[in-house]
Structure 1
Amino acid sequence: MHNLPFIDLAVIALYMLAMVGIGFYFSRKNKNSDQFTKASGRIPGWAIGLSIYATFLSSNTFLGVPGKAFGSNWNAFVFSISMPLAAWVASKYFVPFYRSTGEISAYTHLEKRFGPWARTYAVVCFLLTQFARMGSIFFGIALSLQALTGFSMQSIMIVMGICIIIYTVLGGMEAVIWTEVAQGIIKTLGALLILFLIVKDLPGGFSAIVDVAKADDKFSLGSLSPDFTQSTFWVVLFYGFFINLNNFGMDQNYIQRYHTAQTAKQAAKSVWLCVWMYVPASLLFFIIGTALYAFYQTQPGLIDPVKLQVAAERLGVAATSPEAQQLAATLAPADYGDKVLPFFMVNNIPTGLVGLIVSALLSAAMSTISSNMNASATVFTVDIYQKYFKPDITDKRKLYLLHVSTIVFGVIGLCTGLAMIGAKSLLDIWWELSGIFAGGMLGLFLLGLISRQTKNAAAITAVIIGIIVILWMTFSGKLNENYAFLRNPLHKNMIIVVGTLSIFLAGLLATRLLQRKQENNTAE
């Protein structure tokens, strides 16, 4: 077990206490549900932009992106390149739309367009997405802290979950936003510090990083060929555009923030502030991953303990066993990428600074999970409980339900994280799950927003077709060789693209066919 020095433990403890203290401070203001869910619309645009940026910059980015860059190349950076286009669509169309509705839930308008089923369908997709997101973030932070402390991932997740639940329940949306402002700054400074320490200890400095990366094609953004069966430039670009469009246009985490702004103009500016901060920040994490690759390529013996650890975990044997050593010799960088940054922190960061880096990692996890918990509780309370069980619920009872459901969803996210232990790539598992759950609701949202002629029957038909397509693309790969011709030939990141387009285009076609049928009946 690694034992952190007292000064590092003190820094981490002070950070955790500060976050809980913020929750207690804002708890005095949470006297009604409006304050808990949207801070009564009093948050300045710059703070909202920083909070959205902090939500994007989760531990999936802090750990998953360097791990991906270490194990492969910069192909995943194309995801960030797609953000400005999605932000333009969101600021021009989505933000004004949601501000005009005045509804705190992102899904109320779907009921007005297509009926209660549409609202419920979107809510279920959203909640499943949040469970996957919270689980992957819990998993990511536990992966890092396990390397630093030696404690089990399970115990780390449980302690983290309790702390996050406390300050989220106490502080509400205002506490979430203001802590995310601080956490966004801490994360960025922590990343810069890590990069500085890598370059400082690397023989040859920054020029060595460039030389090694060029030699092994680490700067590649992926093939430009029109091949949608591999993770090419175009596959990631399309995936990134659709998933970011879903984030800005359908994700309650972001829609809820639009309502906390004082004006629609400030809300739109917050989207752009997030983009202009996240794109260079994500580039920073790719540089960190490439720098780590160069660091261990120029000093190959230093990475052996990581290989042995991964091999031992896969085989369920001791790291000193011959079996583990034999497997470790065959592992590629992609097999242990997520574990490299925590390993570097353990062995190369000076005492005192480790506590600051861990605080940055904690902030990366806490900001996103707390936001997910608040948004999930809001959606459940407004779109499910108040809709189907207690339409005339009092505000006092509503606030109580928001508190309880925040706790419940935090626990569910924690359990999802525990179930992910042993996953190979943090970033891959999150991208796959988010693409599966988000594709359906984005297609329905675009259909309702763009095609004003589409009615309930056409929308239901489109969603059924879309669900069938998404299920086929997700699970057909498990078919045995006798049915290999039925397998999905496309890359898994295309699920959200094809799923969204299937619903949207099927809805347009069904609308046209129903209109023709109605015209024929009228003519007769």
Structure 2
Amino acid sequence: MTSHFTALDWTVLLAYFAATLGVGLFLSRGSGSAEGFTAANRSLPGWVCGLSIFATFLSSISFLALPGKSFGSDWTPFAFSLSIPLATWIAARWFLPFYRASGEVSAYAHLEHRFGPWARVYASSFYLLTQVARIAMVMYLMALPLAVIMGVPIGSVLVITGMVVTLYSLVGGIVAVIWTDALQAFVLIGGALACLALMIFQLPGGLGELFRVAGEHQKFSMGSMALDDWSRQTFWVVLLNGLFVNLQNFGIDQSYVQRYIASSSEKEARKSVWLGGMLYLPVSAVFFLIGTALFAFYLSRPGDLAEVRDAVASQRLITDGFDPAAPGFASAVATKAATLPDADIGDGVFPHFIGKHLPSGVTGLLIAAVFAAGMSTISTSLNSAATVFHADFFLRFFRPDTGDRGSLRVLRWATLVFGVVGTSVSFLLLNIASALDAWWTLSSIFSGGILGLFLLGLVSRRASNPAAIAAVICGLGIITWITLSTAGLWPESMSATRAPFHAFLAIVLGTLVILFGGVAFSTLFHRKQIRS
């Protein structure tokens, strides 16, 4: 596969990098102040911010992990996408006007006004943890196709891509991030559609064969519809997880809130929400269809599928410390490859197809599309993480009187630090079986019930600071209980108390416990005050 990446592919890929960096540097002139770096001076059109939201949402997690998931199983994860319209409507109806009216650049300043400094620190801290996990996951999935196609160690690719994206984000600020996201959105959609068309064209029976094979193997199944099974990844478990995660994304995620604020008006901001959300729904379906097409394609090519297994097995053995030059390495690869189920090789199938079965030049375009997906998300996460650190920690607790030049310096240093940390954490993800499952689990855990605290503050005017603290403690307890139980870390001596829920429900139950627990505690504390 190394020789398949031709001079034309390199030309396409390097031209994409040059164009992206050129646009970013050109637009970075608008980021010479802290307001420009974090909020684009609140002057951008809604369609640009909407494309940026879409490109941020459609990270390399979607570009590689969604096809990998539908290849290894079925369309059950598509239930996540089906929750987006409702989450988008709620965000446009209530959250967006609130942020536009507040005038704050941080999404979490409101929590301090409502419950005190602890709430702002709590939400900001868990948000930063989420961004580090997101940066690491996306960087891993950016590096994966190059490692497979070029035959180089994935660790080397992680370091190089981490340096490139961090430098790009460091220079550009939010103006460059949003405009280049809009440009990359077209690359993402075009690359996905081109790949699907070429994949179907190479099937002996074309589109008819795809649907025949998918039907025979139930690849279009949306999973179990049982309402009494909450311990498995059923349709309803994924749908609920999607609703709460997307409410968090569109409602309280700093990355999205900055785009609402960067829009020139509330009307333009509302356009950005609907465009970003509604564009993701059909495009995610395209990626699931790519995974199903990959299954049909490789089913008729067992030799190619064996290559994928060998490549995945080899990469995991190298990560575990095996020396590729050792005499027994080839037999170790064969042994490990023979035990890998389809679900464990899903993330490696699409890169293999890109590297071996696409025409010269198109391979370069698809690798550029993967990088477009990753760079959009990572640059956004780096900018928003730096913004949260600057607004919620540095200015709030350390140097509130810092001038514009000092603030800009802090923002850029914070961008660099988060880039280094995210790249380092990406090395911990090298042996995961499914990037999509890993990301959904991490995002559910690190959300920390932030959505529940936001909803409590907005829904209940009576909710007091002590009630909110008590509710958050209970919510974090639920999240910890479910997480430890599903990760196999619950003590055997306490097996009877193990959570009967799937890990995806951690964010759902944690949010609901904080919301309704906060209301209940507020009523209880209020009655005690009346009696005393």
TM-score range, shorter chain: over 0.9
Q: Secondary structure at the match of 1:28?
A: helix
1:22 paired residue number? 23
Cα deviation, residue 482, structure 1: 2.6
Given candidates 446, 455, 474, the residue that maps to 2:455 is: 446
Q: Which amino acid aligns with 2:294?
A: L
Deviates more, 1:421-430 or 1:148-157: 148-157
Matched, 1:501 2:488: no
* Range that drifts further, 267-276 or 493-502: 267-276
Do structure 1's residue 241 and structure 2's residue 252 form an aligned pair? no
Q: Distance in 1 between matches of 2:201 and 2:182?
A: 29
Cα deviation per residue 1:24-69 (whole Å; 9 max; x = unaligned)?
A: 2123222211111111111100111100000011000000000000
Number of the residue aligned with 2:295 = 293
CA contact (8 A) 1:435 1:495 kept: yes
On the 8 A contact 1:108/1:383 being kept in 2, the answer is yes
- Structure 1 contact 26–170 (Cα < 8 Å) conserved: no
Contact 1:23 1:166 in 2 (8 A): no
Superposition map of 1:62-73 within 5 A: 62-73=63-74
Task: Answer yes or no: is 1:308 the counterpart of 2:310.
Answer: yes
* One-letter code aligned to 1:331: L
Q: Is residue 396 of structure 2 the alignment partner of residue 387 of structure 1?
A: yes
The equivalent residue for 1:173 is 174
| Cα distance in 1 between the residues matched to 2:7 and 2:316 | 33
Q: Does 1:425 align with 2:426?
A: no
What's the C-alpha RMSD, in Å, of the aligned pairs?
Answer: 1.4
Match of 2:277 among 265, 272, 275: 275
Residues of 2 paired with 1:310 and 1:182: CA distance? 32
Partner of residue 459 from structure 1, selected from 468, 476, 498? 468
* Between 326-335 and 369-378, the greater mean CA deviation after superposition: 326-335
Q: Which residue of 1 aligns with 2:347?
A: 338
Q: What is the one-letter code of the residue matched to 2:234?
A: T
Q: CA deviation at 1:250?
A: 1.1
Correspondence for 2:110: 109
In the alignment, the residues of structure 2 paired with residue 331 and residue 406 of structure 1 have an alpha-carbon distance, to the nearest angstrom, of 38
Aligned to 1:156: 157
Q: Does 1:182 align with 2:183?
A: yes
Seq. identity, %: 46
Following TM superposition, by how much is the alpha carbon of 1:300 offset from its aligned partner in structure 2, in angstroms? 2.3
Unaligned runs of 5+ in 2: none
Shift in alpha-carbon separation, 1:336–1:172, aligned structure 2, 3 A: same
Q: Do the aligned residues in 1 keep the contact of 2:482 with 2:502 (CA within 8 Å)?
A: no
Aligned counterpart, 1:206: 207
Structure 2 distance, partners of 1:174, 1:6, is 33
Contact 1:146 1:156 in 2 (8 A): yes
Looking at structure 1, the residues matched to 333 and 174 of structure 2 have their Cα atoms a distance apart, in angstroms, of: 48
Are positions 1:490 and 2:492 aligned together? Answer: no
Cα drift, residue 18 of structure 1? 1.9
> 1:439, 1:497 within 8 Å by CA — same for their partners in 2?
no
* 2:2 partner letter: H
SS in 1 for 2:2: coil
Kept after mapping to 1: 8 A contact 2:31/2:174? no
Q: 1:474 to 1:101 in 2, by over 3 A?
A: same
Distance 2:41 2:521 in 1: 41
Per the alignment, residue 384 of structure 2 pairs with: 375
Inter-partner Cα distance in structure 2 for 1:163 and 1:173: 17
Find the aligned partners of 1:408 and 1:394 in 2 and give their Cα distance. Answer: 21
- Aligned-residue offset at 1:308: 2.3
Task: State the alpha-carbon separation in 1 of the partners of residues 25 and 279 from structure 2.
Answer: 29
Counterpart AA for 1:504: L
Aligned-pair distance for 1:16?
1.3
- For residue 399 of structure 1, what is the aligned residue in structure 2? 408
User: For residues 166 and 492 of structure 2, what CA distance do their matches in structure 1 show?
Assistant: 47
Give the whole-Å Cα distance in 1 for the aligned partners of 2:159 and 2:14: 16
Instruction: Indicate the SS of the match to 1:431.
Output: helix
Q: Hey, what's the Cα distance between the residues in 2 that align with 1:386 and 1:350?
A: 52
Q: Letter of the 2:20 partner, please give it.
A: M
1:160 to partner: Cα distance: 1.4
- Give deviations 1:287-309, integer Å, cap 9, x for gaps: 00000000111222321111123
In 1: Cα distance, 2:179 partner to 2:317 partner:
44
**Distance (whole Å) between structure 1 residues aligned to residue 170 and residue 45 of structure 2:** 22
Which runs of no fewer than 5 residues in structure 1 stay unpaired?
none
Residue 54 of structure 2 corresponds to which residue in structure 1? Answer: 53
What one-letter code is carried by the residue in structure 1 that aligns with 2:129? L
Tell me the SS of whatever aligns to 2:199: helix
**Aligned partners of 1:439, 1:242: CA distance in 2, in Å?**
12
- Residues 83-114 of structure 1, C-alpha deviation per residue, up to 9 Å, x if partnerless? 00000100000000100101000000100000
List per-residue Cα deviations over 1:477-514 (Å, max 9, x = no partner): 31243321122210010010011111111101100101
Q: Which 10-residue stretch deviates more, 467-476 or 102-111?
A: 467-476
Distance across 1 between alignment mates of 2:351 and 2:122: 39
Question: Hey, what does 2:256 align to over in structure 1?
Answer: 254
TM-score with structure 1 setting the length? 0.97
Structure 2 counterpart of 1:230 = 232
Counterpart residue identity of residue 504, structure 2: N
Mapped to 1, the partners of 2:83 and 2:16 lie a distance apart of: 34
* Contact 2:28–2:175, Cα closer than 8 Å, also in 1: no
Tell whether the 8 Å contact from 1:20 to 1:163 is kept in structure 2 after alignment.
no
Match of 1:215 in 2: 216
Deviations 1:424-449 (A, max 9, x none): 11111100000011142111111111
In structure 2, the CA distance between the partners of 1:314 and 1:145, relative to structure 1 (3 Å rule), is closer
Q: Which moved more, 1:413-422 or 1:303-312?
A: 303-312
**Count of residue pairs brought into register by the alignment:** 521
1:75 partner SS: coil
